[in-house]
Amino acid sequence: MAPTPRITPHSAFKTLPLVDIRGLFCPRLADRIEAASALGAAASQAGFLYVTGHGVDPQVISRLKQRTVEYFAQPLEHKMQDYIGLSSNHSGYVPEGEEQFVEGSIDHKEAFDVGFDYLSLQGLRPMLGANRWPGLPGFQEDVKAYYEAVFSLSLTLFRGFALALGLPEDAISQHVTHPPSQLRLIHYPYSAQAPVDRPGIGAHTDYECFTILLPTAPGLEVLNGAGQWIDVPLVEGAFVINIGDMMEVLSNGTYVATAHRVRKVAQERYSFPMFCACDYDTVIAPIPQLLDPAVPSRYDPVSCGDHLYAQTLQTFRYLKQRVASGELKLPEDAKALSSFGRAAMVGES
């Protein structure tokens, strides 16, 4: 029997809204507020949207794609030298089957995960440290250039969401200095023999505040407010932005995390999600200015880093094995997977 989707506060959208965010870069506050209002309206309507006018250099994007294709074309034994389980900060190569959102279901993808390249020996955390970079020529330079470009964009979007909520512009971005924000380089291999419903990645919400996504081919689907899965086609020059768990909490449910998945791909597909979080020790709770007696807090506080770590411990095979052996343990008050986002699927497989 097919799982029954929960009805969400989102609209029954058939296409994602598109927002030109160039106004967020304007010196006039009124222009930034106008662009922020459009950003917030789209996030409330769908939790997913396209953005243009983002200012990221197309050459930086082109070099990222080139290095990614080169990396995944290597033999598996070469890529396994960069295996994520060998890292100290959860960075490196993720082979097919390593990550599972649903027990017993294998996501047909491979990935390379890059974090904030935190080089200091002070303040190290389970998800924060120096990246494990492969030796492929040009890979570190070009991937890091893209990371820095979208990290800068994320700060602009954090300020935009704050303005959209009627808050001071730096209300959220002041907590984003060296966060455990992760960039994933994902490869979905194409197979003509694969079943139509083969999961590239199972239905889930993202853990962080929001995601800046660059896909190279169709395959992404999002759940609308009527419980229908909606295709997300490519839009030239646009990023896809989606709300995650932590922004749902910060906004006290004004923005809700949206379930999404990747099904069978019709061609070789690469995807570059940048998961944008606050600093590791930030306590994520509804922002006080958004609360009053008529609108009380709907969420318990969570530690940003601990929440990310707990979710990661429950999805990666090498970490689940360490938890099972007693080498690692879940943070106190760790939440189960898909604890946020009323758009989550019930029993998705």
Phi-psi region of 192 (alpha: psi -120 to 50; beta: other; left: phi over 0): alpha
The pLDDT of residue 2 is 37
> Residue 278: CB partners within 8 Å, gap ≥ 6?
172, 175, 176, 179, 209, 246, 284, 304
Res 128: pLDDT: 93
Over residues 265-302, the pLDDT tens digits come to: 667 889 999 999 999 999 999 999 999 888 899 898 98
Non-local CB neighbours of 208 within 8 Å, separated by 6+ positions: 181, 244, 245, 246, 247, 275, 276, 277, 308
Residues in the chain: 349
**pLDDT tens per residue across span 129-161:** 999 999 999 999 999 999 999 999 999 999 999
In terms of Cα–Cα distance, which of 119, 63, 66 is closest to 91? 119
Q: Is the predicted pLDDT of residue 199 greater than 80, yes or no?
A: no
Predicted confidence (pLDDT) at residue 31 exceeds the cutoff of 90: yes
As a whole number of angstroms, the distance between CA 13 and CA 242 comes to: 14
Give the DSSP per-residue string, 182-251.
EEEEEEE---TTS-TT--SEEEE--SSSEEEEEESSS-EEEE-TTS-EEE----TT-EEEEE-HHHHHHT
In the beta sheet, which residues pair with residue 224?
none
Of the candidates 275, 254, 222, 278, the one whose C-alpha atom is nearest the C-alpha of residue 43 is 254
**Highest mean pLDDT: which range of 67-76, 113-122, 211-220:** 67-76
* Closest alpha carbon to 207 in 313, 114, 298, 124: 313
pTM: 0.90
Domains of the chain: 18-325 (2.60.120.330)
- Spatial contact of 64 and 49, defined as CB atoms under 8 Å apart: no
Q: How far is CA 236 from CA 51, 107, 140, in A?
A: 11, 27, 26
* CA distance linking residue 266 with residue 66, whole number of Å: 20
Give dist(CA 19, CA 42) in Å, integer: 8
Say if residues 87 and 182 touch (Cβ distance below 8 Å). Answer: no
Residue 142 near residue 133, CB atoms below 8 Å: no
At 258 the pLDDT is: 84
**Whole-number Å distance between alpha carbons of 222 and 258:** 7
Alpha carbons 202 and 338: distance in angstroms, whole number = 12
Digit-coded pLDDT (tens) for 302-349: 899 998 999 899 889 999 999 999 999 988 776 666 555 543 333 332
3-state secondary structure of 159: helix
Confidence of residue 202 (pLDDT cuts 50, 70, 90): low
Q: What is the pLDDT at residue 1?
A: 33
